[in-house]
């Protein structure tokens, strides 16, 4: 499966993808707009003061607007 790009699918649909990952306990490979990449488990998606955040198990929450793309990931196959 290819990466799901927020700029292609739109913010609402992208949030739906992140929320689905929460429901099925799926790790995702995340590409941030600044070039940072990581694999982690999405544990929640929250809205505070009009800003949406993706909350991950092993790192601090990230504003959804800073995420360029995400795709399914197998944490055992990627460091």
Q: What ranges do the domains of the chain cover?
A: 4-72
**What φ, ψ does residue 49 adopt, rounded to 5°?**
50, 40
Q: Which of 66, 57, 59, 53 is nearest to 18 (CA)?
A: 53
pLDDT value at 75 more than 80: no
Both structure tokens of 19: 């929320």
pLDDT grade for 7, boundaries at 50, 70 and 90: confident
CA 31 – CA 37 distance, rounded (Å) = 5
pLDDT over 70 percentage in the chain: 92
Give residue 79's pLDDT.
46
pLDDT over 90 percentage in the chain: 75
Domain 4-72 has CATH 2.30.30.100: yes
Q: What is the per-residue pLDDT across 63-73, written as a single tens digit (0 to 9) for each?
A: 999 999 999 88
Its pTM stands at 0.86
The C-alpha torsion from 44 through 47 and 58 to 12, rounded to 10°, is: 70
């Amino acid at each position: 499966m290819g990466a799901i790009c927020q700029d292609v699918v739109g913010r609402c649909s992208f949030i739906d993808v992140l929320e689905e990952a929460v429901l099925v306990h799926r790790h995702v490979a995340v590409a941030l707009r600044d070039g940072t990449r990581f694999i982690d488990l999405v544990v929640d998606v929250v809205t505070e003061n009009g800003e949406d955040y993706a909350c991950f198990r092993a790192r601090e929450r990230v504003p959804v607007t800073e995420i360029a793309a995400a795709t399914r990931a197998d944490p055992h196959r990627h460091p």
